[in-house]
Structure 1
Amino acid sequence: MNKKIIMQLDELTCPSCLTKIEGAVKNTPGVGTVKVLFNAGKVKAEFDDSQVSADTLSGVVAKLGYTVQQVKVKDL
């Protein structure tokens, strides 16, 4: 895992959102740890950018019906 992505979402309205998002992102090949910060509306994940891109990860969240407002990617 050599990158960290932080996605800002606006629609986190219930705890089941957390479980749904964490599961979908974690099941994406190349993703390590995933944490959804419910109250902050953020999704943080570590990933290997040789296996998956930040755009793919934000797309996974978008396909679940959430709008990704902002994406930040950092090197680990």
Structure 2
Amino acid sequence: MKKATIKLETLTCPSCMQKIENGIKSIDGVDIPSINVLFNSSKVIFNFDENKASIDDAENVIAKLGYEVKKSQVKDI
């Protein structure tokens, strides 16, 4: 399992947070209970199975939703 932290340019409202959370939930291999979208720090944190998903999958979902990724980081957990 890996832990991803994605820093976004900005989150402007709670509905933005919900859109991003739902997008990340749609990725096969993401540990859904681990998803945490942080409004004040404009971050998305979640765990995923690296055999089924990648950080690129999450970045692509976020970009398709119209949000810009500032920085991504993946750590082993």
What is the TM-score when the length of structure 2 is the normalising length?
0.93
Provide the identity percentage. Answer: 47
- How do 1:53-72 residues align onto structure 2 when only pairs under 5 Å count? 53-72=54-73
1:36-70: CA deviations, max 9, x gaps? 00000000010000001111111111110000000
User: Where does residue 30 of structure 1 map in the other structure?
Assistant: 29
Asked whether the 8 Å contact 2:2–2:47 carries over to 1, the reply is yes
- How do 1:1-76 residues align onto structure 2 when only pairs under 5 Å count? 2-32=1-31, 33-76=34-77
Asked whether the 8 Å contact 2:27–2:57 carries over to 1, the reply is no
Q: Unpaired segments of 5 or more residues in structure 2?
A: none
Asked whether the 8 Å contact 2:20–2:62 carries over to 1, the reply is yes
Structure 2 CA distance for aligned equivalents of residues 49 and 60 of structure 1: 16
The aligned amino acid for 2:50 is: D
Helix, strand or coil for the counterpart of 1:74? strand
Q: How many residues align?
A: 75
Q: 4+ runs of 1 displaced by more than 3 Å?
A: none
Structure 2 CA distance for aligned equivalents of residues 35 and 59 of structure 1: 18
What is the TM-score when the length of structure 1 is the normalising length?
0.94
